[in-house]
Amino acid sequence: MLTEQIRVIVEDGLCAHCAVHVKRAHHRDFPELHAECGTVGDAVAHLADMLATDRDGARSGWHREAINQAIDDVKAYHESLSRTAPERVTACQCGPRSSAKLEPSIPGRGPTA
């Protein structure tokens, strides 16, 4: 678990949209991908989803393998959280943002249209 704690970075922050305290998570090797949610568990789970989405667009085998290792680190960290006491929840009103749940920017058009 110590290895995952070193690779998965969790910070306190404020939601840019509703100014509620949130948890931000990112992987040490992929700082450009960060998840922002109300709890550490939600942020880490959302980060795993974001990494999986990024893996789908990887252009080389070594990059895909690096993302797979990061996903394994994040999942192990998430599993370790389930063994600890539950945290107090101050929910962000915005909720996690995921590419799988994008709202269409043009009415009647989805993100893949």
Convert the pLDDT of each residue in 72-106 to its tens digit: 999 999 998 877 756 665 555 665 554 334 344 34
Q: Any alpha helices (H) in the chain, and if so which ranges?
A: 2-7, 40-56, 61-81
Whether the Cβ atoms of residue 9 and residue 27 lie closer than 8 Å to each other: yes
Give the pLDDT score at 5. Answer: 60
For residue 24, pLDDT over 70 is answered with yes
Number of H helices, E strands in the chain: 3, 3
Whether the model pTM is above 0.85? no
Residues with Cβ within 8 Å of residue 13, at least 6 apart in sequence: 21, 22, 23, 24, 36
Task: Give the distance from CA 56 to its chain's centroid.
Answer: 16
For residue 57, pLDDT over 60 is answered with yes
Which has the higher per-residue pLDDT, 92 or 68?
68
Mean pLDDT over residues 52-65, rounded? 90
Whether the Cβ atoms of residue 52 and residue 71 lie closer than 8 Å to each other: yes
In terms of Cα–Cα distance, which of 73, 82, 68 is closest to 39? 82
